[in-house]
């Protein structure tokens, strides 16, 4: 994906300038990059935490708490989800090693291309979207990049430039996959429809498993107004994001147009609904704007 003038322009743009790309209705208007002289932060709003153990122990309560949190702002923090926090801690170090142990030329051999509904592969700095230049390198893996389906023709080198990383991240993929149906069934129950109507579609479903790498930023990059991940909404049904040791995620409260600094406990999972979910829920679960800012600005 080539960098263009329109991509650089995105730093100073409002989201409404790119509405031709949108999948659902979004009335909120915001700058794609941070404008400290214009923006405010909401220090009162708290994104709700939901105990995943309730799915088994008190399903009605789990459905109510999860559904109301997502309806309110499109975000919820999932606690006690059963995935070992140490796995996420190791993942942070593995991601750094994965990017720093490969050269740019080696990574570019896997440059992102379309596969089904997912752009799969390596995204160099400033190419995550065609709208604005995010200061992050990324790598998206589809289901076929993992040896999870007993495919006799599976070849690790088709997707991974280094050996040893696929088995580790496969652990996370398999653990997080166990959350998909309970979460989806709970959202559908909250909407008053058949909770199992998506089970077949979401069993062994495709996904986009993204690794983000944040290289050190230069003074010029910090002063440019660009962000690690500029303001955006996700496109899919929902995103499962492990909380990280470094803060930076901010969520837009559409009711007052102030940014919420999200500070979950390390090891918790941040769940947010995307465009597809907003569409199939008839706008009950919104696709909410969020951004990732450098630690220096948090």
- Above 80 in pLDDT, residue 145? yes
Is a pLDDT exceeding 50 seen at residue 3? no
Closest listed residue to residue 172, CA positions, set 246, 81, 111, 248: 81
Residue 223: its pLDDT value, please? Answer: 63
Instruction: Please indicate whether residue 197 or residue 233 has the higher confidence score (pLDDT).
Output: 197
- Residue 230's pLDDT is what? 74
Q: Which residue has the tokens 């979460």?
A: 183
In the chain, the percentage of residues whose pLDDT exceeds 70 is: 81
Query: What is the structure's pLDDT at 33?
Result: 61
Cβ neighbors of 74 (< 8 A, separation 6 or more) are 272, 273, 278, 285, 286, 287, 288
Q: State pLDDT tens for residues 99-140.
A: 999 999 999 999 999 887 778 999 998 777 666 667 889 999
DSSP 8-state class, residue 296:
G
Q: Where are the domains of the chain?
A: 33-297
Assign 157 to helix, strand or coil. Answer: helix
Q: Which residues contact 45 (CB under 8 A, 6 or more apart)?
A: 73, 253, 258, 260
Distances (CA, A) of 33 to 7, 127, 163, 296: 12, 16, 37, 15
pLDDT, position 239: 97
| pLDDT reported for residue 177 | 97
Q: At what angle do helices 59-73 and 165-190 cross, to 10 degrees?
A: 90
Structure tokens at 55: 């799915």
- Main-chain dihedrals φ then ψ at residue 248, nearest 5 degrees: 165, -15
pLDDT value of position 114: 84
Q: Are 136 and 125 in contact (CB under 8 A)?
A: yes
How far apart, in whole angstroms, are the C-alpha atoms of residue 22 and residue 24?
A: 6
Distances (CA, A) of 37 to 33, 219, 279, 285: 12, 19, 34, 31
Predicted confidence at residue 14, as pLDDT, reads 62
pLDDT bin (cut points 50, 70, 90) of residue 297 is very low
Residue bearing the bigger pLDDT, 133 or 82:
82
- The DSSP secondary-structure symbol of 284 reads S
Write down the pLDDT at residue 34: 62
Is the pLDDT at 1 greater than 50, yes or no?
no
Q: How many CB atoms within 10 Å of residue 48?
A: 14
Considering Cα of 223, then 226, then 227, then 228, what sign does the dihedral take? negative
Residue 68 has pLDDT above 60, yes or no: yes
Give the pLDDT mean for 260-273. 94
Phi, psi of 38 (to 5 degrees): -120, -25
The reported pTM is 0.86
Rounded to whole angstroms, the Cα distance separating 116 from 106 reads 24
* Count of Cβ atoms closer than 10 Å to residue 191 Cβ: 17
Q: Please, which pLDDT band fits residue 298 given cuts at 50, 70 and 90?
A: very low
Question: Per-residue pLDDT averaged across 46-67, rounded?
Answer: 98
Query: Does 227 have pLDDT greater than 60?
Result: no
- Residues belonging to the chain: 298
pLDDT for 108 = 97
Domain 33-297 maps to which CATH number in 2.60.120.330, 1.20.210.10, 3.30.420.40, 3.90.950.20?
2.60.120.330
| Phi, psi (deg, nearest 5) at residue 214 | -110, 90
């Amino acid at each position: 994906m080539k960098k263009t003038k329109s991509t650089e322009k995105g730093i100073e743009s409002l989201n409404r300038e790119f509405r031709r790309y949108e999948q659902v209705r979004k009335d909120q208007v915001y700058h794609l990059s941070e404008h400290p002289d214009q923006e405010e932060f909401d220090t009162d709003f708290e994104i709700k935490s939901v105990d995943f153990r309730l799915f088994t122990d008190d399903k009605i309560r789990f459905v109510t708490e999860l559904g109301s949190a997502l309806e309110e702002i499109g975000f919820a923090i999932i606690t006690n989800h059963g995935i070992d926090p140490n796995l996420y801690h190791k993942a942070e170090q593995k991601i750094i090693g994965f990017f720093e142990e490969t050269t740019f030329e080696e990574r570019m051999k896997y440059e992102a291309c379309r596969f089904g509904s997912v752009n799969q592969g390596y995204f160099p700095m400033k190419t995550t979207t065609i709208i604005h230049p995010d200061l992050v390198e990324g790598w998206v893996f589809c289901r076929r990049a993992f040896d999870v389906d007993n495919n006799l023709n599976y070849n690790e080198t088709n997707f991974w430039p280094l050996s040893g990383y696929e088995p580790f991240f496969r652990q996370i993929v398999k653990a997080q996959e166990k959350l998909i149906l309970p979460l989806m069934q709970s959202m559908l129950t909250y909407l008053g429809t058949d909770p199992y109507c998506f089970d077949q579609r979401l069993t062994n479903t495709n996904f986009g498993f993204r690794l983000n790498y944040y290289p050190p930023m230069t003074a010029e990059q910090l002063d440019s107004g660009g962000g690690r991940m500029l303001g955006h909404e996700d496109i899919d049904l929902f995103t499962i994001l492990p909380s990280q040791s470094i803060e930076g995620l901010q969520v837009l409260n559409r009711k007052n147009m102030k940014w919420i600094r999200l500070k979950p406990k390390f090891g918790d999972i941040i769940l947010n609904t995307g465009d597809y979910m907003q569409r199939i829920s008839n706008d009950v679960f919104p696709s909410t704007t969020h951004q990732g800012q450098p630690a220096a600005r948090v």
